[in-house]
Amino acid sequence: MERSDSSRLAEENLGLVHMCANRFRGKGIEYDDLYGAGCIGLMKAARAFDEGRGVRFSTYAVPVILGEIRRLFRDGGAVRVSRSLKELSLRLTRERERFLLKEGREPTVSELCRICGEDSELVTEALGAAMPPVSLTSCLDDSEGSEADIPVPPPDTDITDRLALRQALSSLETEDRKLIFLRYFLGKTQTVTAGLLGMTQVQVSRREKKLLARLKSIMDGQ
């Protein structure tokens, strides 16, 4: 597969990275680190994917993405990258959050390229650059050499639900999408979300409950 094709394939499937990274929330590593490792896996999968094998890209890519995320736990949460790539990664993170607040959705790789003035290959690689490592002590047994055992369900089990959720989110108003993205994709607290959206914490709490109920109703086909 040509390099441009692999970049396009990775860009079109960034949702798979969020899907996989969300499974490991609260396991001892920051979400940005999980997302970064997942992007590395996504790019590896895009470069190696062979359409002639007759399998969907999502089926092929999810195990690769999960493998890169699990590597974080084995390596103590550290992804070794150059300083320049790490700086670009931090810049992309800031621009991603600004875009999300303004547009109420995740930016595509092409949009991040235009914002930062970098080519798609470098931007995709930088999205996989990790933040500083965090301790995994709380995830490990006291015995030396033990590893965090993270149970993960079969990758195909969750894909349909995630796609349905994305469609449900698209039906929300822009401000409501911003609230959901801030709370569940960026992991912001209700207080922080309230400040960013010009609301009170109580208003965020009430609106969040209504939105979750509405999303559940849509996904249940009601």
Please state whether 81 falls in left (phi above 0), alpha (psi between -120 and 50) or beta: beta
Tell me which of 74 and 95 has the higher pLDDT: 95
Q: Where among 81, 115, 139 does a domain terminate?
A: 139
Cα–Cα distance for residue pair 180/163, rounded to 1 Å: 16
Give the pLDDT confidence score for residue 140 in this predicted structure: 37
Cα–Cα distance for residue pair 21/72, rounded to 1 Å: 11
> 203 lies in which domain range?
171-219
Q: Are residues 177 and 135 in the same domain?
A: no
* Percent of the chain scoring above 70 in pLDDT: 75
Tell me the pTM: 0.39
| Mean pLDDT lowest among 76-80, 102-106, 194-198, 208-212 | 76-80
User: What average pLDDT does the segment 179-204 reach?
Assistant: 88
What residue type is assigned to position 69 of the chain? I
H or E segment to which residue 211 belongs? helix 201-219
Mean pLDDT across the chain: 75
Q: Are residues 184 and 127 in the same domain?
A: no
Cα–Cα distance for residue pair 177/183, rounded to 1 Å: 10
- Residue 207 pLDDT > 90, yes or no? yes
Q: Are residues 120 and 176 in the same domain?
A: no
Tell me which of 180 and 171 has the higher pLDDT: 180
Q: Are residues 44 and 110 in the same domain?
A: yes
| Mean pLDDT lowest among 85-89, 98-102, 154-158, 211-215 | 154-158
User: What average pLDDT does the segment 182-202 reach?
Assistant: 88
Give the pLDDT confidence score for residue 103 in this predicted structure: 79
Q: Are residues 182 and 123 in the same domain?
A: no
Assigned domain for 159 exists: no
What SS3 state is found at 183? helix
Assigned domain for 158 exists: no
Cα–Cα distance for residue pair 83/31, rounded to 1 Å: 20
Q: What is the pLDDT of residues 80-127, one digit of tens each?
A: 556 677 778 888 888 888 887 787 777 887 888 888 888 877 777 777
Q: Are residues 21 and 104 in the same domain?
A: yes
Cα–Cα distance for residue pair 61/59, rounded to 1 Å: 6
Angle at 151 between CA 37 and CA 81, to 5 degrees: 15
Cα–Cα distance for residue pair 117/138, rounded to 1 Å: 40
User: What average pLDDT does the segment 31-37 reach?
Assistant: 86
What number of H helices and E strands is found in the chain? 11, 0
Assigned domain for 157 exists: no
Query: Which tokens belong to 63?
Result: 């195990």
